[in-house]
Every structure is written in structure tokens, then in C-alpha cells.
Structure 1
């Protein structure tokens, strides 16, 4: 295994093809580890960062592992992920399936050389089942001081072959409530569900999304500043061209009353963000839209619906169970210390 460290983000353009190929064959890829995500995030938030992207190449010359890391001026002495926790729901090392042990061993040796003893690697939102977590015991024995803590929950639900089968898997109460809310919205508002296609009113639909996102909660209005809006537009555009975005609307006769932005990767639908018009709160437009997107995911033969981070009650009403995310802090142990 050959290790290389990129310290100029401008070099990522030349790396995009092997990064994409690695992502396609990784143990646990997510949209947040895709090169398009890293480039979009860096374009908006990389000004105060210094990249430190660790690459591991195998004997055939293929990229076998990648650590999307950077130094931040806001936290001197701390290296973290490219992608902050407010925008990237999960992060990890990107490792080729079947080469986890070799790649993590090479990463271990490279990172110990990169990090002086008083410096720290602070890794947020590492998912349960990650090769990173599985190799922790080995890293502990190789000279690291490691702290691991439960950081977040990412509820998800497995999808059956049909919508009716999905409903039958819920409790009687939740099944009744979902059906009731969908019928009420349809009867009183003549609602319709639409997945907007790129080039077919896309810009207008994005405007609806931002408006409804800001309207739905004061916290969301504060969150969606101009820079985040620009970031959302870029990821929607670039991943839309890849066929990985689902921009969904619940429409009444007066126009959209709820909107959501989701990603589809492999056989997973990931609900990234959403909003609704509070004037229609009595019709639970956000819940009705989620129900429609789950039904859409089933119609696309997807097998997992990931609500991503956060323990909002409605996620569990749809039968979700928690997937755990961890925060890891690693510091090279001074020589001679056991």
C-alpha cells in the first residue's frame, strides 16, 4: 500500500475519477463521502481550512482508501472531517470493500506521522458498523489514546415490497393515523404528490423548498442563511445530474404546501431536509409528504428509508429504529507510554 497526502484542494479535480471509483466499491459509502459533496462543501466553507486528504493506493494502482480530513483555523491543533456536522449527517474514512484491514493499517501509520503528540483527530458522526470502529482495538494497541462517545441517532426503517405491507408493519394506531392524515389532506385540499425532475420546473421547485423550509420553524429560518442556500442549490444541481436527488412536493390547489430534498444512493432513500406551510398545520403536510416519499421509495424498489440524524417523534411513528453515530477523538500516544 502506498500513502499520499494532498494538501492543496485544487488537486481534487484530478482525483475525482479514482475517488468516484472508490466510492462505487466502498464498504459503507454515503452521499456525504462522495467527491461532489466534498467539492461543494469546500467551495462554500473551505476558506478557513487547510486540506489534509490521506490517500491509500493498492498494488494495482487503484485508490483503496481515502480520509477526507482538514485542519481548521477555528480549532488549532485539531484535525477533522471535510464537511461540518450541520450539513454532513454521517462521515467516515472511505475504504474499498475487502481491503478494510490493510487500508486502516496504512491510515493508522500515516496519521501517526501527520499528528504531533499534542494534536488531536476529532471525528464526528462515524456510523455504527464502520471499518473505523471495527479497527479501533488495533489502533489502541498501536499507540493511540482514543475516546469514543455516542453522539447522535439516525433513525431508519427497512422497506418491504409494497406500501400496504409497510403499513401493516406499523402499530394499529400509527397505521390508522397515517391513513387518516393522507385521506384528510386529499379530501379537503385535493393534494397531489410530485417528484420534480431536473429541468422540469426545478429552479421554481427549489424556491418553494427554501420558502417552506424557512416558514416551517424559526430554527430552520435561522439555519438557512444565504451561504447554506447556495450550498443546497449546488448539491441539488450536481447530485441531480447524477440521478441521486429526489425533490418532492405535496401540492394543494393553491400550490406546494410541503417540500423535501432527499438523496437516493444504492437502494437507500435518505431524507435530507424538508419544510411545510404552517397555515396548513392541521393537515400535517410534513407527515403526509413523508408518507408519500416512503411509498415512492418502495415503488423504486428501494429497501431502506433513512431519516438521517435526529430523534424527532414522527420518525418512530413510521416504524424507524435507531442507527448509532459516534464521535471519536484520537491522539498519538507519546513514545514510551503504554
Structure 2
């Protein structure tokens, strides 16, 4: 196996094609795709990437760990690309990668480093969580945020098991009210409709959170908005993006940005028209998305970071993330 370390921004674009091929072979989450991380790097990145790559004798990329060095206020540390707005972080591993691939990746990325390496938001199955630290380094962990996950049954009828009776009753009532308000429909955006629908989501999201006293919510940050506008076409081309719209009486009442794969639906961010609160457009759209996921044969719906009560009313159970810090022994 050959170990490479990419430390310049100029060298990153050449990695794009084989990075995506590795991501597809690995069956990894959308958050580990170049369609997500390279737009993030273009907006939030520094001049100090530290991307560790592991290749076999034929030159095929078998494992990848995209880190970067952050220097501020006289201190430095290594972090995973995507940190902050990425709910799950991890290394990328080919099914044919050697068992100790992650340890080799870490050793390559941390070579000659003295700064600590923080790895937040590692899901329970993360390779970075289980791998032993490189020689000369020690590891400690900290508890991360809860990430509720709904395990899907084989049929829509079986959803009555995990979903609370109150939520099912609210869903039925919302559908009746929406029918009386002119009818409702839920659709997945066509590629040509994605940009306009995204801007509609932004407007709904910002309006709702401003009324709650948090000016614009998470989409108030110009850099976050720039990231999403850059990433949308990339994710769409990779087949990971799904932008869903709910209409009541012919007018858009809710929009949800989700990421698909593998066998999962990730509910990333949404916006809802609060003037339609009587019909509960958020409940309507979530119910539709969960039922559609069952019909499609998906196995899980991930509500991502945060312990908001509504997630548990849909039957989700916590799968907490974990943070890991590596420091010189």
C-alpha cells in the first residue's frame, strides 16, 4: 500500500473523480461525498489541507481521510472537512481496504504534527471511532449530540408500531384539513426546479426563525447559504439530493432538503409556512416522506443532530454521535 498526503489546495481537484468512485464503492453517507465536502472546502476551507490517501499497488484509491489544519488565535488543530454543518463525519474505506487502513490514514495525516486532532460527530459505526491511534498518539472521547433515527418497517401499515398514536392522529387531522383547504400534494423537485425551490425553503426557514427571535436561523450566515448554493448541483449530479415540496391549495407550504443513501433518508433542513399552521404542513410533509421511504424500501430515516421532541413522536430512537481527540502521547 502507498500512503499519500495532499497539503495544497491546487492538488485537490485532481482527486475529485477517484474520490467519488471510492465513495460509491464504499456505500458511504452523502456527507462523505466530494459533492458535499468539496463545496464546503471552497467556502470554509483554509490554505492547509491534510488529506491522507491510501492506494493499492495498482494505484487505486482504497481509503481517504480529508482533514485540514486550522490556525487561529495562536493555536492550531486538525479537523475533518465539513465540520460544523456536517452531521456525520468519518473516513472513506473501500470494501477491499486493509483492516488497519484507518490507522495508516491517521498516521499519514498526523505525521510531523504536534497539534491535536479533533474528530467530532462520529456516528456509532464510524471507522474513525474504532481505529487505534497511531504510534505516539493517545485518544480520548467526548459525548456528542443525539441523532434520532427511525428504523423503518416493511410496510406502511406497520408504521403504527413506532409512531406515537398522537402523531398519527395529528397526521390524519392535517390531511383532512388540507383536503378542505383546497387539497394537498407532495412532490420531489425536478432538476430544473431545484434552485427556485431552494430559495423558497430559505425564505420560509428564515421567516420562521426570525419570528422565534433567532434572526434567520442557521441560514442567516452568508457562508452557509453560499455553501448550499454551491453544493446543490453537485449533490444533484451525484444522485444524493432530494428537495421535496408540499402544496396546499396549489401554494407551496413546506419544503424539505433531504439527502439519500445508502438505504437511508437524511432529513437535513426544512422550511414551513406558519400561516398554514392550522393544516400543519410540517407534519404532512414528514408523514409523506416517511411513507415514501417505506415504499421505496429504505431501512432508516435519520433526523440528524438534535433532540427535538417531534423526532421522537415519529418513533425515532437516539444514536448519539461521539467526538474523539487525538494528542501526542
Is TM-score (shorter-chain normalized) higher than 0.5? yes
Is 1:139 aligned with 2:136?
A: no
Over 6 Å off, 4+ runs: none
Is 1:175 aligned with 2:168?
A: yes
| 8 Å CA contact 2:142, 2:322 repeated in 1 | yes
Provide, for residues 255-306 of structure 1, a one-character-per-residue CA deviation record: whole Å limited to 9, x for no partner.
1111111011121111110011121223221122111111222232222111
Q: CA deviation at 1:190?
A: 1.9
Determine the structure 1 residue equivalent to 2:273.
Answer: 277
Q: CA deviation at 1:254?
A: 5.4
Q: How does 1:50-199 map to 2 (within 5 A)?
A: 50-74=48-72, 76-85=75-84, 87-99=85-97, 101-116=99-114, 119-135=115-131, 138-139=132-133, 142-199=135-192
Provide the C-alpha distance between the structure 1 equivalents of 2:130 and 2:15, rounded to a whole number of angstroms: 27
Provide, for residues 188-239 of structure 1, a one-character-per-residue CA deviation record: whole Å limited to 9, x for no partner.
352221211111x333212211111112223371421333222212222111
| 8 Å CA contact 1:186, 1:192 repeated in 2 | no
Q: CA deviation at 1:187?
A: 2.7
Provide the C-alpha distance between the structure 2 equivalents of 1:319 and 1:238, rounded to a whole number of angstroms: 32
Provide, for residues 45-91 of structure 1, a one-character-per-residue CA deviation record: whole Å limited to 9, x for no partner.
12x44111111112332212111100113363201011121x21111
Provide the C-alpha distance between the structure 2 equivalents of 1:328 and 1:312, rounded to a whole number of angstroms: 24
Q: Structure 1: which 5+ runs fail to align?
A: 334-338
Provide the C-alpha distance between the structure 1 equivalents of 2:106 and 2:244, rounded to a whole number of angstroms: 42
Provide the C-alpha distance between the structure 2 equivalents of 1:112 and 1:243, rounded to a whole number of angstroms: 33
Q: Is the alpha carbon distance of 1:111 and 1:231 closer, same or farther for their aligned partners in structure 2, counting shifts above 3 Å?
A: closer
Q: CA deviation at 1:23?
A: 1.0
SS in 2 for 1:32: helix
What RMSD in Å do the two structures reach over aligned CA positions? 2.0
Q: Is 229-238 or 119-128 further displaced after alignment?
A: 229-238
Provide the C-alpha distance between the structure 2 equivalents of 1:169 and 1:214, rounded to a whole number of angstroms: 32
SS in 2 for 1:160: coil
Provide the C-alpha distance between the structure 1 equivalents of 2:159 and 2:258, rounded to a whole number of angstroms: 20
